[in-house]
Amino acid sequence: MLRIVSYNIHSGRDLFWRNRLQQMARTLGELQADVIGLQEVHQNSKYGYQADYLAGALQYHSIFAPSIRIADGTYGNALLTRLPILRSRTLSLPAKKEKRCLLQSTLLWKGTEFDTWVTHLSLNQVSRLEQIDMLMTLAKKQQNHPLILVGDFNTTSASFQPILTDCARITCNHLLPTLPSFRRRIDYLFASRHWRVGTYQLIDVRWSDHVPLAATLELSERQVPAE
């Protein structure tokens, strides 16, 4: 089964702003994921080249998608994987204040191409609704192709039904908070009907203000309705 992880790494810091990048690398290594989507990732000299560091520690391929400029570099989303990366691109999402983006990557697994999208949506509700609408439009265009969408959606009610399945909801884990200090679930793993969801779990570590999400997926011989 394909193992996928999503993790908002909070600039590599915990709630007390202590640097936890080494601990994050160790935890991600223990998870042995095939694909990892990361949010709040720095690529600059002020906070470090975090996507490069984590990819190097894990010996994974990496792609970084900048959202905003910080110091002499950028800050945004990243994808780490041990699978072949066939192609990727970064799309800007509509936003009134802080810029947001969608990292789209096509990977190869067991001879099948599939897309993995990584994003981090706005705190502003108006912008966030526009971003969700754009993601839904893009996902509808991908209905004939296996798709996984992961990230921090900054809302407790993100849904892409009937196009994508919420991995937490279908496994009855949707009440578990991904942002423990606020007891809210704002991070999600979504999968198209091409995938059968095996397991879903939250990893109980406090290296960030968020916890990592992990799921196992298997390509289904017949398409599964989204839930």
- What token pair was written down for 93? 């999402």
Per-residue pLDDT for 226 more than 90?
A: no
Q: How confident is the model at residue 97 (pLDDT cuts 50, 70, 90)?
A: confident
Residue 64, domain member (yes or no): yes
The answer to the question of residue 87 being in a domain is yes
The verdict on residue 198 lying in a domain is yes
CA–CA dist 4, 141 (Å, integer): 23
Asked if residue 183 belongs to a domain, the reply is yes
Q: Model-level pTM?
A: 0.96
CATH number of the domain enclosing 147 = 3.60.10.10
Residue range(s) defining the domain that contains residue 64: 2-219
How distant is the alpha carbon of residue 210 from its chain centre? Answer: 12
| pLDDT at 181 exceeding the cut of 70 | yes
| pLDDT value for 220 | 87
Comparing C-alpha atoms, which of 115, 215, 207 is closest to residue 173? Answer: 215
Instruction: Kindly indicate the confidence band of residue 225, based on its pLDDT and cuts at 50, 70 and 90.
Output: low
- Angle among Cα 128, 198, 208 to the nearest 5 degrees reads 50
On the question of pLDDT at 211 being above 60, the answer is: yes
Structure tokens at 17: 């702003």
Give the pLDDT confidence of 134-143 residue by residue, as tens digits. 999 999 999 9
Asked whether residue 161 is assigned to any structural domain, the reply reads yes
How much is the average pLDDT of 112-135? 97
Number of folded domains that form the chain: 1
Q: Is residue 225 part of a domain?
A: no
- At 32, the pLDDT band (50, 70, 90 cuts) reads very high
